[in-house]
Structure 1
Amino acid sequence: MPRWNKKDRRKPPSAAAPDRPETADDGARPGKEPAGRFRERRRDSRLVEENKVSIELLADGRSAAERTITNALTKDISPGGVRVVTSTLLPVDTLLRMEIVLSGLHRVLRAMGVVRWTRSVYGEGMFESGIEFTQISPEEKLLLLEHTYKKKG
C-alpha cells in the first residue's frame, strides 16, 4: 500500500472522494433503509403473547358440515390482526372465523379475518400465518386495544 506523505498533495487513500457520497457504517445508502433492516409497515402496535385460538375456515362452496375447524396459538396480536402457529396449512386469501381466548382476561374475542401470509416453521407440519381482521365488533376492537396497550404500557 502506498504511503501518504505530507508533501504529497493528494489525499490519503482513506479519504473519501468528494464526488462520491459516503456510506454509513451500517451499510445504508443515501435515501435507502440500512442494510438488513426493513421498514415497519404495520399500522398497529403488536403484543407478543400466546392465546388459544379456534379457527374455522370458510371456504367457498362448502357446507357447514364440511368446514374445517383447527386449533392454534397466537404468537402476537394487535387491533389489526394476529400471527398464529398451527399444524394446519392456512392458504393465503382464505376467509376464516376465529375465537381467541385473551390470556389474563378470560374473555373470548370473536372476529372474521383473511390469511395474508403463511410459512412453514419448526420443520415440517407446523405453520405460521398472518391474519388480518376483516370484521370485528366495535366493542371487541376496543377490548383488544385496551388489552394490547395495557399489557405493553
Structure 2
Amino acid sequence: MKETMVIASPLGNIRLHAEDGYLLSLQFTEDPEDLGTMDVFLLEVKSQLDAYFQGDLKIFNIPVALGGTEFQQKVWMEVNKIPYGKTASYQQIAKRLDSPKAVRAVGGANGLNPILVVIPCHRIISQTGELNGYAGGLWRKLKLLQLESRDQPGNPYSLGF
C-alpha cells in the first residue's frame, strides 16, 4: 500500500512516499505538514530524519526502493558510500564507476536522485570544491554540508547549522 506524509524539518517541509515498507521518494516541498495516516514505517523514517537533523544520526537504516536506469542506480549506490561529513566530486564518482568520461552523466543522475538526504547527493561537489546543483536548492545543500561538518575543525563547510 502506498503511503505519503509531509513532515517539517529545519530546512523546510519534506514529502515522503513509501510502499510496502520501502522509501520510494524524499523531496523538499512547499506543501503544508501532513502526517497522513500515521504509517508506522514513515514515522520511523521521520524519527531517523529528526535524529539526523539534530546531529545524532550519521547513517540511515531505511529500506529504499529505487527506480531509474541501471546507470542512475549505480551512481546513487556509489553516492551512498560517501561517509557522513565527507564530500566527493562528480569526477571521483565517475572514476569509481569505471566511466571517467561520464562526469556529466553522473551529474545528471545525481540530480535525479529520488531520495534526497538519505541517499546523500548533497555530498557531491565540483572538482574545484564549488557547490553546484541540488534538487532541494543550493542553500539546503550548503546547510546539509554544514550540519555534517560542524564537528570537523578546518572543514570549509563547518559554518554552523
Larger radius of gyration: 1
Question: Which has a greater percent of helix?
Answer: 2
Question: Which has a greater percent of strand?
Answer: 1
